Structure 1
Amino acid sequence: MILKNFEVIVLNSHGVGQFCNIKRLPALGETLRAWNWRIEEDGGKGTNVSVALGRLNIKTAYIGKVGNDLWGDLGEKWMQDAGVDTTYMYRSDEVATGTGLVMVDEDGRNTIVDGDSSSEALTVEEIRTAIDHMKHSKIFITGFAIPEALAIEGAKMAKSHGITTMLNPSPLPEEPMGDLSFIDYLVLNDVEGKFLLDIPQNTELTAHEIIDRVREKYHCGSVIMTMGSKGSVGLDAEGFWQVEPTSVKAVDTTGAGDGYLAAIAANLIQGNDIRTASEWASKYASLTVTKVGTLRAYSPLKEVDEFILGLQ
């Protein structure tokens, strides 16, 4: 077996995003006019995180499955251009690479409809082969844009090799996740936090109460919850911490969460603790929302450092 050494492994979906602009988010049952319909450099959660990491100079490898089609070719090109290894981006004639629709309103907010993922056809054995060949990597990142069972099984495999594991439970899981003691960092937003607790969204709980209950329920090492313009909070064995928001003019929030996830991993790779990493990631995500697009919003490390320096 020839082993490959990487800093971060990403197991999640690739799919090409179609975008349109709308005046406001539609109400249930409403037909709303859209304009500027286009195909953007948006590759779904796995591609987004991988490209963001690559541009932050992190040695990254991607695991997923795509079709032998134009959308798969685009994903491979985008990742390779960012320096990401795509050895385990499995190609198959039996699947079509997925697409999604992102609707962006006049305030830069977005609603995303995810199509079927070609990673539905990814197998446990293919994941095992990839992780076994990269078992000396440092961080493993996954999420639920691929079948939840595959993401969880991949995280368990990575943890068995001593790799630090990160999970973003998005899109929201359709089945109970059970014990997540093999997850070192559970990264979610406030909507996902309440969903994972099986409580209504209008339940009045503080952010600290939400993540405390999530960590107690799922037994993961740390829980980090983003709250958009309200910043983020975290909880680990040492206690709570809070990150204040960075004030910027948001023009497009698409992909900010994926960038945040990548930025935390990149900062941990640099040797920082999770509190420092989440502060840096918050500033990184703030930079992404000042730009239109997804992959185009993931800046190289030098530009990020200059942006953060300018905030001081």
Structure 2
Amino acid sequence: MTNRVTVIGSLNVDTILEIPRLPKPGETLAMGDQSFAGGGKGSNQGIAAARAGAETYFVGKIGEDANGKFMVKSMTDSGVNVDQVTVTKEAKTGQAFILLDKNGQNSILIYGGANQVLSVKDVDNASDIIAKSDFLITQFETPIEVAEAGFKIAKKHGVVTILNPAPAREVPTSLLAISDLVTPNETECETLTGVKITDEASMIKGAEKLHEMGAKGVIITVGSKGAFYHTADGHYGFVDAFKVKAVDTTAAGDTFIGALSTQLKKDLSNLPEAIRFANRASSITVQRMGAHPSIPTLAEIEAAETADK
């Protein structure tokens, strides 16, 4: 059965600057190349879900500009329903400027733009779509009150809520209390719980703190190592990442979230299997350049699985 996934989130046009390393203060550094691609944590997650097989809907905001039209096309080309992506005259479409070094690591500057104009009213207008979903995903590149409004609608209708608490920031306990699955990386987990993630014991401690705050399930992603999971009933474990040579880590975490949502059961009973699938999808993303262009299709994920056997 195909999962129905709705994402509330950001839409950004990414400008990717390829550099040998980050410049020092006052230093001028030559770039290797420059390129443009669709991005934004929200839209990356929506496209990842759609390409990996979910029936996917998106709630977001763009400016009245060419970048906005570009983002809508990028989403619809991947099969994402954008009926609830609305246009504002108050701000330009969001943008991100990605400094990508020769080792595939990135540093990112974000202009929130129209993403920050997304409102509770926009979410209320999408309530029918949210109510009919299996999963609702959101992140922190749009206002937190928007995330909370969406999750409240979801909880009224038995929709499973997935909170990707990125970029890292403090989160109201009222939002965590209605988050079924929270998916921080090590830094984000420390911001949420005060627990520094260094080993399995600290991961367990961080997850237990998130359970105390209301989360039923926790996944702590640790980059190229893989992902740790912990459920409120005490089941936990670690799912190793697939070893590949990364050329660009942009959208790897977002691909993980989107792909995960396509496989997950609503009771979270198959977390390890869904994480393995999501790890596989991410391993493909990091081997390619850009955000939207790097996100794999279901056929590509299945082909990678077959090639490994």
**Same fold by TM (over 0.5)?**
yes
- Tell me if structure 1 keeps the 8 A contact 2:197–2:206: no
Q: In the alignment, which of 150, 158, 165 is matched to residue 161 of structure 2?
A: 165
1:176-196, CA deviations, whole angstroms, 9 ceiling, x for partnerless residues?
Answer: 421412111101111111121
1:264-295, CA deviations, whole angstroms, 9 ceiling, x for partnerless residues?
Answer: 10111699712210111111111111112211
Give unpaired runs (5+ residues) of structure 2: none
- Tell me if structure 2 keeps the 8 A contact 1:117–1:145: no
Summarize the alignment of residues 213-292 of structure 1 with structure 2, pairs less than 5 Å apart. Answer: 213-216=209-212, 218-236=213-231, 237-268=233-264, 273-292=270-289
- Tell me if structure 1 keeps the 8 A contact 2:63–2:91: yes
- Tell me if structure 2 keeps the 8 A contact 1:7–1:269: no
Query: Within 2, Cα distance between the matches of 1:247 and 1:77?
Result: 33
Query: Within 1, Cα distance between the matches of 2:273 and 2:226?
Result: 14
Query: Within 1, Cα distance between the matches of 2:3 and 2:117?
Result: 25
Structure 1 residues 34, 262: CA separation in 2 closer, same or farther (over 3 Å shift)?
farther
Aligned-partner SS, 2:126: helix
1:15 alignment counterpart = 12
- Tell me if structure 2 keeps the 8 A contact 1:18–1:37: no
Greater CA drift, 37-46 or 148-157:
37-46
Summarize the alignment of residues 1-312 of structure 1 with structure 2, pairs less than 5 Å apart. Answer: 7-26=4-23, 29=25, 31=27, 33-173=29-169, 175-179=170-174, 180-198=176-194, 206-216=202-212, 218-236=213-231, 237-268=233-264, 273-312=270-309
Aligned-partner SS, 1:41: strand
- Tell me if structure 1 keeps the 8 A contact 2:255–2:281: yes
Query: Within 1, Cα distance between the matches of 2:30 and 2:198?
Result: 30
- Tell me if structure 2 keeps the 8 A contact 1:66–1:89: yes
Structure 1 residues 196, 246: CA separation in 2 closer, same or farther (over 3 Å shift)?
same
- Tell me if structure 1 keeps the 8 A contact 2:131–2:153: no
1:79-123, CA deviations, whole angstroms, 9 ceiling, x for partnerless residues?
Answer: 110111110001122221111111111110111111123122122
Query: Within 1, Cα distance between the matches of 2:198 and 2:22?
Result: 20
TM-score by length of 1: 0.90
The runs of at least 4 aligned residues of structure 1 exceeding 4 Å deviation read: 199-205, 269-272
Structure 1 residues 57, 199: CA separation in 2 closer, same or farther (over 3 Å shift)?
closer
Residue type at the aligned position of 2:216: G
- Tell me if structure 2 keeps the 8 A contact 1:155–1:182: yes
Query: Within 2, Cα distance between the matches of 1:227 and 1:32?
Result: 33
TM-score by length of 2: 0.91
Give 1:207 shift.
Answer: 2.6
Aligned-partner SS, 1:42: strand
Structure 1 residues 31, 294: CA separation in 2 closer, same or farther (over 3 Å shift)?
same
Aligned-partner SS, 1:253: coil
Give 1:38 shift.
Answer: 2.9
Give unpaired runs (5+ residues) of structure 1: none
Structure 1 residues 31, 198: CA separation in 2 closer, same or farther (over 3 Å shift)?
farther
Structure 1 residues 57, 34: CA separation in 2 closer, same or farther (over 3 Å shift)?
farther
Residue type at the aligned position of 1:276: E
- Tell me if structure 1 keeps the 8 A contact 2:130–2:153: no
Give 1:310 shift.
Answer: 1.8
1:42-64, CA deviations, whole angstroms, 9 ceiling, x for partnerless residues?
Answer: 32111111111221221111101
Give the length in aligned residue pairs.
305
Aligned-partner SS, 2:288: coil
Aligned-partner SS, 2:215: coil
Residue type at the aligned position of 1:158: A
